[in-house]
């Protein structure tokens, strides 16, 4: 059992680590809270001091590119409608589908989102009410990995904390769990108070699995720490890292444009020889009467300012292209020359495919131990002898395609097959029926054994029918 002071130190050290610091930035940008929210304008006053300019417009526009890019990557990687975990054995496939169902896919989607946003994500394993393994996403920011060689603990463990409501004195209630290979210790902290054992838990420490049968409680351990980690890259940095400065520049450039439009929306009137002596009266006359009085030498000049629109538009366009390019995303707003063929569409998905290929390799390594423990439980429950290699992972990514192109491709394929089949039939005397049948089945992707079986049944039916007709004629 860890000492309360050690737990507090572990949580504090983890929160101040570079990994968690940048993970918080990634989470902020995913939520649409950009650095521009703290952007301020300054100027030098008459005393030469730098002071904040509160008179000028300071519009703060946030552009959630990162939110789109993360959701795009996660949804594209999991876009396949079929099961991710598959097996050739139909009985095993049925069992796997009961574990890796839509609920599991929803939790996996959350883990992938955490991985892209924070740089790492975690999935937690537990036994449900049906005494079967189930999986749930664990909030990445609340997971602290503890290694033997890093602390005075005797074994590796996972420290997991989360906020569980507000106490009567408006202080947060922090629940803390320490998981090792055999059991779990529960702690609680109110506000900034001391960490104490959680007395609300009936068993503390508690084995991984506790169930009641016949009025008695039974306990068992999973034999492993039930947390599985998925890292975005070797350094566990968020996908935000290569594009953060570009998004910040885009926010500042667009906000500066909006500020210029706001500040220069009205013209400046330069008046010479004004007969009055009240500037407020002058402004009122211009706004309401649209006229002012001047002397013989007087004049009025209206000054307007040109904003460099084209330069800023080009700058924003270049920043947008760089954001999608360096985060390897798909820009759905690309227009091109209007010739949107399947080749063009696939080329626009090229960077996103490369990005997902890298993440998929890590996702496969993440899912493999999960598949193994599921198959072990299936073997124990069914007394079977399945192996981990009997199951495999498949990620079918779906790309939007041009329907017109698809129709032309299908038509061309059908015409080619028809030409090949016609050529084979014309060569019937040379090749023989058996060779023609085999070749036709290969072209149409048919099972030749099933075709032979159906053909045999058809011939048998025809012979029976002819026999019945002969009997009828004899009887007549």
User: pLDDT for 29-46, tens place per residue?
Assistant: 999 999 999 999 888 887
Using the predicted structure, report yes or no on whether residue 406 has a pLDDT greater than 70. no
Separation between Cα atoms, residue 351 and residue 322, nearest integer Å? 12
Select the more confidently predicted residue: 254 or 57: 254
Using the predicted structure, report yes or no on whether residue 57 has a pLDDT greater than 90. no
The C-alpha angle 61, 64, 67, rounded to 5 degrees, equals 165
Is residue 60 a contact partner of residue 37, using CB atoms and an 8 Å limit?
A: yes
pLDDT at res. 101? 93
Select the more confidently predicted residue: 192 or 283: 192
Q: Is 152 left (phi over 0), alpha (psi -120 to 50) or beta?
A: alpha
Q: Which residues pair with 301 in a beta bridge?
A: 270
Q: pLDDT tens across 146-177, in order?
A: 887 665 666 689 999 999 888 878 889 999 99
pLDDT at res. 309? 80
Q: What distance, in Å, lies between the first and last C-alpha atoms of the chain?
A: 98
Q: Mapping DSSP to helix (H, G, I), strand (E, B) and coil, where does residue 125 land? A: strand
Is residue 111 a contact partner of residue 228, using CB atoms and an 8 Å limit?
A: no
- Quote the pTM value: 0.76
Q: Average per-residue pLDDT in the chain?
A: 83
Q: Which residues pair with 364 in a beta bridge?
A: none
Q: Mapping DSSP to helix (H, G, I), strand (E, B) and coil, where does residue 212 land? A: strand
Least confident residue range of 116-130, 139-153, 429-443: 429-443
Residue 21's pLDDT band (cuts 50, 70, 90): very high
Least confident residue range of 40-49, 272-281, 410-419: 272-281
Q: Which residues pair with 184 in a beta bridge?
A: 179, 206
pLDDT at res. 152? 60
The C-alpha angle 331, 332, 333, rounded to 5 degrees, equals 90
Its sign, for the CA torsion 79, 354, 138, 229, is positive
């Amino acid at each position: 059992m860890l000492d309360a002071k050690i737990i507090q130190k572990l949580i504090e050290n983890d929160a101040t680590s570079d990994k968690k610091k940048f993970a918080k930035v990634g989470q902020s940008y995913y939520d649409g809270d950009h650095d521009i929210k703290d952007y301020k304008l300054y100027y030098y006053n008459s005393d030469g001091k730098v002071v904040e300019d509160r008179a000028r417009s300071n519009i703060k526009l946030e552009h959630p590119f990162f939110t789109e890019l993360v959701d795009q990557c996660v949804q594209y990687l999991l876009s396949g409608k079929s099961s991710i975990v598959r097996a050739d054995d139909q009985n095993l496939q049925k069992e796997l589908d009961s574990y890796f169902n839509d609920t599991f896919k929803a939790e996996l989607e959350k883990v992938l989102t955490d991985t892209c946003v924070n740089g790492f994500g975690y999935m937690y394993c537990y036994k449900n009410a049906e005494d079967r393994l189930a999986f749930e996403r664990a909030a990445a920011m609340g997971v602290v990995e503890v290694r033997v060689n890093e602390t005075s603990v005797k074994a590796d463990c996972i420290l997991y904390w989360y906020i569980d409501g507000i106490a009567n004195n408006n202080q947060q209630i922090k629940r803390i769990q320490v998981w090792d290979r055999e059991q779990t210790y529960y702690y609680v902290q109110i506000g900034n108070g001391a960490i104490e054992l959680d007395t609300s838990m009936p068993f503390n420490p508690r084995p991984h699995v506790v169930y009641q049968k016949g009025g008695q409680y039974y306990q068992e351990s999973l034999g492993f720490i039930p947390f599985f980690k998925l890292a975005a890259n070797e350094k566990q940095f968020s996908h935000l890292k290569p594009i953060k400065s570009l998004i910040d520049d885009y926010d500042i450039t667009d906000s500066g444009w909006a500020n210029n439009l706001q500040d220069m929306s009205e013209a400046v009137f330069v008046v010479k020889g004004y007969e009055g002596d009240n500037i407020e009266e002058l402004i009122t006359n211009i706004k309401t009467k649209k006229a002012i009085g001047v002397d013989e030498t007087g004049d009025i000049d209206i000054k307007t300012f040109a904003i460099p629109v084209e330069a800023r538009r080009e700058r924003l366009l270049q920043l947008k292209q760089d954001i999608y390019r360096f985060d390897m995303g798909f820009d759905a707003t690309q227009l091109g020359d209007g010739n949107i063929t399947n080749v063009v569409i696939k080329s626009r998905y090229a960077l996103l495919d490369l990005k997902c290929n890298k993440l998929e390799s890590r996702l496969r390594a993440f899912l493999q131990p999960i598949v193994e423990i599921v198959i072990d439980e299936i073997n124990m429950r069914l007394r079977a002898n399945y192996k981990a290699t009997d199951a495999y992972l498949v990620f079918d990514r779906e790309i939007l395609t041009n329907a017109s192109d698809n129709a032309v491709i299908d038509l061309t394929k059908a015409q080619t097959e028809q030409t090949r089949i016609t050529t084979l039939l014309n060569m019937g005397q040379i090749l023989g029926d058996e060779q023609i049948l085999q070749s036709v089945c290969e072209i149409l992707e048919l099972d030749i054994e099933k075709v032979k079986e159906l053909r045999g049944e058809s011939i048998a039916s025809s012979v029976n029918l002819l026999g019945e007709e002969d009997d009828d004629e004899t009887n007549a």
